[in-house]
Amino acid sequence: MDLTVKWQELIENPFFRDLPYKIELNKFGQILMSPASNRHGILQNKISRIVENQKQSGIIVVECSILTSEGVRVADVAWLSDEFYAEFGERTPYPKAPEICVEIKSPGNSRAEMTEKIRLYLEKGALEVWIIDETAKINFHTHTGKMKTSKLAPNVKL
């Protein structure tokens, strides 16, 4: 099954347009949905603005779809360098992870689920994966493990 084709069908289907859920696909093409909260949206906005101010180039994408080995995953926020955008433009889903992928932990997210997303994004080429926990603390992850601060946006704080 071509997950890129399945994803395109899903985003073009009017039934799924206005659902108050984050939608992803697993590796079998099955739809995964999780409810969104206002807190989640507020944190997406805050982190987007902070990264945009720090980077001053590139593009911020909220709800960024990425084709991974386990299906299409959707980073809550992602930062794409100008080079990344020049190569991939607005392809949906991206065949490679942008340089920064941010996940905001929801009450329903397990530790294992967040650990898997870190692994999947790093495997697909992300340089950093940020996890924002329930207390709005940001945990930074790279291929070498957890870090105290971001190397790509060193002054990020919520």
Q: For all residues of the chain together, what is the average pLDDT? A: 90
Q: Could you report the per-residue pLDDT of 104-145, keeping only the tens digit for each? A: 998 878 899 999 999 999 999 999 999 998 888 999 999 999
What is the C-alpha separation between 8 and 5, in angstroms, rounded?
5
Q: What's residue 31's pLDDT?
A: 80
* DSSP character string of 102-146: EEE--TT--HHHHHHHHHHHHHTT-SEEEEE-TTS-EEEEETTEE
Using the predicted structure, report yes or no on whether residue 2 has a pLDDT greater than 80: yes
Q: What's residue 149's pLDDT?
A: 92
Is 37-147 assigned to CATH 3.90.1570.10?
A: yes
What's the first-to-final CA gap in the chain, in angstroms? 40
